[in-house]
Structure 1
Amino acid sequence: MTAKVARRWLHLVVGGALLMPYFLFVGTVVLALLGVPDFFTDPPALVLTFALALPLVAVTALVPAARPPAVALARGLTGAAPDALADGPARGRVDRSRTACWYVLHLGLGGVVAGATLAVPPFAVLLLALPVVRPGPRSPYTLPTAGPALYLTPIAGLALLAALAGVAAGAGAVLARAAPVLLGPSPRERLERAERRAAELAVRNRLAREVHDSVGHALSAIALQATAARRLLDGPAGGGRAFAGEALSAIEETARRTVGELDAVLGVLRESGPDPGTAAPGLAEGLPALLDRTRAAGCRVTVRGAPLPGVLPRPLDREAYRIVQEGLANALKHAPGAPVLLRLERTASRLSVRLAQPLPPAPPGPSDGGGRGLAGVAERARLLGGSATAGPCEGDWVLEVTLPTGAAPVPRTGEETR
């Protein structure tokens, strides 16, 4: 016997055990009113009791809370696919009716199989032992005690056990096939489940973007600063050592800040932290520090235009910061030391971010570094209803992002260069 058949057999026996309260109630109360004193010894009364117990099962199974335990048993013992079964109580009339049908099927088949499981094995053992052990005069069974038929009883005993196993396997297979039909989610529940999965995937994607943008940018800056510091420390003493000290201080500050951002993102995974987006500052408040870190890593950045504090919606402000951060991280990674021109422009309806850098020997793209950063930028822009393009343009590598704002225009500030 396979483990799957054994689990389904156990599921049927549990159904028979669940049927017993209904069976005893009908036998002791209802049939007593009909004048049947002992329904256990009267086969017609026994069948009638069983038949009358099943409608009572159906009525009680109409309770919405009846579905979760049935689903839990079916998932664990029938082998039905977990996603094929519904979660939570039955909410609609159709769902409650399907649950009631499941209980009738489960407890009905379970009652038959459980009763046979209790009765057949002892009788089969008696048949197997009959050629050696004779039944006493008070035995309830009428069995041959002599002749050729006596030696055929072991075969009959084995046949009974095989028949019991076959009936249990067949009934278990019926329940396994019926479980997704009677306990499966309704169309509304399938839609809700799909929406929950989409929300979970959106959170995961956002977490991945936050980790990539924050940690990736920080590690790129740290690597360049550490390389520069090592080279200066290996050289002659003098002003180079002072610059190396500044680089090491920048590494310390970048690492400390990144640990805080990473902790906020991982807090979401632990379900104990804030929204991962809160780990990122806004463009107006975070841009000066971001520029300082980028310049400390050896990248010359020129900024034309800058957002004024408090004039952008918070989600847009935060995502725009991440976009600029990813663009500068790409510049550090693919062309360290090359000048970068960052242009920020705000109109009545949109915010434009443009980063341009002379083309390096190997321009950044999907074939260099996996392209996850640029894909994340495009995804952020798309979620905000904007657009993003990246590629060579007139001798430069250009990342251009346009985001809708829906707010009043902001005056452009002058040029800042360091």
Structure 2
Amino acid sequence: MPGFLRPLARAVTYARWLHILVGSVIAWICGAIYPGLPVDARTDWLLMLVIPVPLVVAAAMVPAMRRVEGLQARMLLFPSPQPPGHERHARVDDADDDPGISVAPSASWRDRARTALWLVLRLEVGGVMALATVQLLGLALSLLGSTDDERTHASGAFLPTPSLGRADILLSVLPVLVVLALAVAVGHGMAWAARRLLGPSPAERLAALEERTEQLLERNRIARELHDSIGHALTVAVVQAGAARAAADPEFTDRALEAVEETGRAALDDLERVLRILHEDGEPAGERPTLTDTERLLASARASGAEVDAEVTGPLERIPGPVSREGYRMLQEALTNVLRHSGPVPVRLRVAVDDARLVMNVRNALTPSTSPHTGRGGSGLRGIRERAALLGGRATTGPHDEAWQVHVELPLR
């Protein structure tokens, strides 16, 4: 099909045409009351388009009217994709996945003014389009000989009917093509206007941007949760399996398998909780571990062969929830980093809590497998620094006094 005829084969063209014509309904209702239908004078048609203006402006002052108009525009001006096999007929060339039409009620006088301007535009364009459709289709019928001249003029026809004999039948196609061309052109114009007048306000755009930012932050948080939890469990399993094979001691192997089982079960609980959040099924996501569960981390590290010298001072239960949860993940990643890169080496862990801050320090001896040259580490250590920064604290990782150190300071207020 030639390119200029493709819009005529798409459902969106006729959906937009219907949307435009529906906008003139209030004009026809008012016209039936005054000046009355049928109307013969051009001034009467003008009155039909002017009288309803105060009514539509008053309707635009109702906040819900913006939602109603937004939903109509989305359904008819920007229809959603059709089932497979119908995309060619429903595709909208000038639209993307988001049509840019707001469906929120008016929240300000600016929104109401834009809605009023849109309703007046729908009224006037719809009235002119309805008049043009009636006149052009009436002319086509006249050319076909369906009506005589007197009946045509009695019904308020403005366009003269030529008399060319048999050529009238061929000319009857032209008014129909003009109507279709108007439907395509005016439909595109109304879609453009809808985006400008019914599009999101600056406040709505800012709210959408903030929501998108929150979603990205939540995705990053979930990614860190999975990295810390699953990474810790896999690291413990690898270390325990290697140690059990090297020891060749049935008793040690049993302890190693018990540690792997306990760590894996904890990781599965974390994974189930994260998946429950992603599913958003309304079920409680479960409690995230906090620093009060530090002993579980220490037991897992010790079961992997590490000699952990732990000292905890201060009331861990008084730490605010967000700080305690993030602190647990930082401590988990620090111990995981030790097991992954240095193996079961002696570890010195200090956790101190006072009225103003939480201080955590994890130190282990440097080994040939430890990377002391940058102090930046991989994504796990970078995650520790990012978590600390988000909480208003700071974290440093890297070599310090012939040892590898992870030092974290977090404010409690």
TM-score band w.r.t. shorter chain: 0.7 to 0.9
TM-score (normalised: structure 2): 0.80
1:301/1:342 contact within 8 Å kept: yes
Distance in 1 between the 2:252 and 2:369 partners? 29
- Are 1:241 and 2:288 counterparts? no
Q: Please give the residue correspondences for 1:371-386 in structure 2 after superposition, counting only pairs within 5 Å.
A: 371-386=378-393
- Cα 1:138/1:19, change in 2 over 3 Å: closer
Instruction: Find the counterpart in structure 2 of residue 250 from structure 1.
Output: 259
Q: Secondary structure, in 3 states, of the residue corresponding to 1:184?
A: coil
The answer to whether the 8 A contact 2:142-2:148 is kept is: no
Conserved? CA contact 2:393–2:410, under 8 Å:
yes
CA distance in structure 2 between the partners assigned to 1:267 and 1:295 by the alignment: 31
Shift of 1:370: 8.8
2:365 alignment partner, one of 358, 367, 379: 358
180, 183, 208: which one pairs with 2:223?
208
Q: How does 1:2-401 map to 2 (within 5 A)?
A: 2=6, 6-20=11-25, 22-31=26-35, 36=36, 38-76=37-75, 77-78=77-78, 79=94, 82=98, 84-117=100-133, 120-121=136-137, 123-124=139-140, 127=143, 140=151, 142-144=161-163, 146=165, 150-151=166-167, 154=170, 156-229=171-244, 235=248, 240-271=249-280, 272-274=282-284, 278-280=287-289, 282-283=290-291, 285-363=292-370, 371-401=378-408
Could you say if the C-alpha distance between residues 359 and 28 of structure 1 is closer, same or farther in structure 2, counting changes exceeding 3 Å?
Answer: same
Q: CA deviation at 1:140?
A: 4.2
Q: Structure 1 295/168 Cα, relative in aligned 2: closer, same or farther at 3 Å?
A: same
Q: Match for 1:190: what amino acid?
A: R
Deviation at 1:107, TM superposition (A): 3.6
Question: Cα deviation per residue 1:318-341 (whole Å; 9 max; x = unaligned)?
Answer: 221111001011112222223322
Q: Do 1:265 and 1:273's aligned partners in 2 also have CA atoms closer than 8 Å?
A: no
Q: Secondary structure at the match of 1:310?
A: helix
Cα distance in 2 for residues equivalent to 1:66 and 1:370: 56
- Residue 183 of structure 1: CA displacement? 1.3
- Return the alpha-carbon distance in structure 2 between the equivalents of residues 366 and 42 of structure 1: 90
Q: In structure 2, do the counterparts of structure 1 residues 305 and 86 end up closer, same or farther at CA, with 3 Å as the change threshold? A: same
Task: Name the residue aligned to 1:413.
Answer: none
Q: Deviations over 1:47-71 (max 9, x none)?
A: 3223323432232232110111322
> CA contact under 8 A between 2:142 and 2:149: conserved in structure 1?
no
Change (3 A) 1:335 1:2: farther
Aligned-partner residue type, residue 220 of structure 1: T
Q: Offset of 1:241 from its aligned partner?
A: 1.5
CA contact (8 A) 1:39 1:45 kept: no
Task: Report how far residue 106 of structure 1 moved.
Answer: 2.4
Please, which runs of 5 or more residues in structure 1 have no aligned partner? 407-418
* In structure 1, C-alpha distance between the alignment counterparts of 2:95 and 2:115, rounded to whole Å: 16
Aligned-partner SS, 2:306: coil
1:74/1:80 contact within 8 Å kept:
no
* Higher mean C-alpha deviation, range 72-81 or range 258-267: 72-81
* TM-superposed deviation, 1:96: 0.8
**Which range moved further: 207-216 or 366-375?**
366-375
Q: Is the 8 A contact 1:80 1:180 kept in 2?
A: no
Counterpart residue identity of residue 189, structure 2: V
In the TM superposition, what is the alpha-carbon distance from 1:195 to its structure 2 partner? 2.7
TM-score norm. by structure 1 comes to 0.79
Q: What 5-or-longer segments of structure 2 have no aligned partner?
A: 79-93, 153-160
Deviation at 1:387, TM superposition (A): 0.3
1:2 Cα shift? 4.1
Residues 312 and 18 (structure 1), Cα distance of their counterparts in 2 relative to 1, 3 Å cut: same
Q: Distance in 1 between matches of 2:372 and 2:148?
A: 93
